[in-house]
Amino acid sequence: SITIPRSVVKIESDSFINCKSLEKIIIPNTVTSIGNNSFANCVSLKTLNIPNSVKSIGMNAFSGCSSLKQVNIPASVSSIGSKAFSECKLLSKITILSSINKISEYLFSKCTSLNQIEIPNSVKTIEKYSFQSCTSLSQIIIPSTVNAINEGAFILCSSLTQIIIPSSVNSIGVNAFSQCKNLMKITIDPYKTKLMNDPFNKCTKLTHLVLANTVNTTDNLNNFPFIQKFTTITIPPSVAVIESNS
């Protein structure tokens, strides 16, 4: 166990990297910044309380903390670096109260026990591979503030069974949901969201397309990429007429 003194304002990069016996760290509310790699590979770290004085968490800050089970990110945090919590294999719940505007690259990659996370309404971009191989993640709610889901964001999330894409999303990157082997249903507005290559590559059970309630026409629906994947299409009440060229 380590108690950081109140005189500390910044935990510098690499401060506790590879401290494999460290089980508990007490961070005072004088700390405003947690640097890159600061607690990376602290494989015995079980308890973490990030105080509401912290404004930024650096790259790889807690990467590889394989005993960490739960994290609360306070409202004060406005920046979280890439891979900050990657490969935290026992991490099952993350609460993000902060006003971050993106889920950074590889942020929760290979958090194989993660089954609960709420993306805050401040987020506009879900960066590439941010939830890669989160194999226990069975549900994800994407807020209507998000406008881009980038390459490989949810690749290999094998427990996802359905996904609702809000109409605010302008683009979904290549392989964003690739190899989500249990994904069966997506809700999307194909007239507002552009698909890059095949975001649903190797989703072998994906057969049900639900048109979002923002859709009011079926005009040229047959031009929607990968429409041949779907054996069932649910049309919302907002569509009054099914067009002849659907």
Helix (H) or strand (E) holding 10: strand 10-11
Residue holding tokens 């190797």? 202
Please tell me the predicted confidence (pLDDT) of residue 244.
66
Instruction: State how far the Cα of 179 lies from the Cα of 47, in Å rounded to an integer.
Output: 33
From residue 85, how far is each of 32, 35, 119, 194, 245 by CA, in Å?
18, 13, 15, 29, 48
Instruction: State how far the Cα of 7 lies from the Cα of 179, in Å rounded to an integer.
Output: 48
3 state DSSP class of 72: strand
Please tell me the predicted confidence (pLDDT) of residue 63.
98
Who contacts 57 (Cβ-Cβ below 8 Å, separation ≥6)? Answer: 34, 50, 73, 77, 79, 80, 81, 84
From residue 126, how far is each of 87, 120, 158 by CA, in Å?
18, 11, 18
Q: pLDDT per residue over 13-32, tens digit each?
A: 999 999 999 999 999 999 99
Please tell me the predicted confidence (pLDDT) of residue 246.
63
Instruction: Say which DSSP state 103 is in.
Output: E
Cβ(150)–Cβ(176) under 8 Å? yes
- Indicate the pTM of the whole model: 0.93
Instruction: State how far the Cα of 148 lies from the Cα of 170, in Å rounded to an integer.
Output: 6
Q: pLDDT per residue over 115-146, tens digit each?
A: 988 899 999 999 999 999 999 999 999 999 99
Mean pLDDT by 10 residues, the chain (246 residues): 94 96 95 98 94 97 96 94 98 90 97 92 97 96 96 98 96 97 95 91 95 89 82 90 69
Cβ(64)–Cβ(45) under 8 Å? no
Of 71, 185, 92, the residue nearest 135 (C-alpha): 92
Please tell me the predicted confidence (pLDDT) of residue 102.
96
Please tell me the predicted confidence (pLDDT) of residue 5.
95
Please tell me the predicted confidence (pLDDT) of residue 83.
98
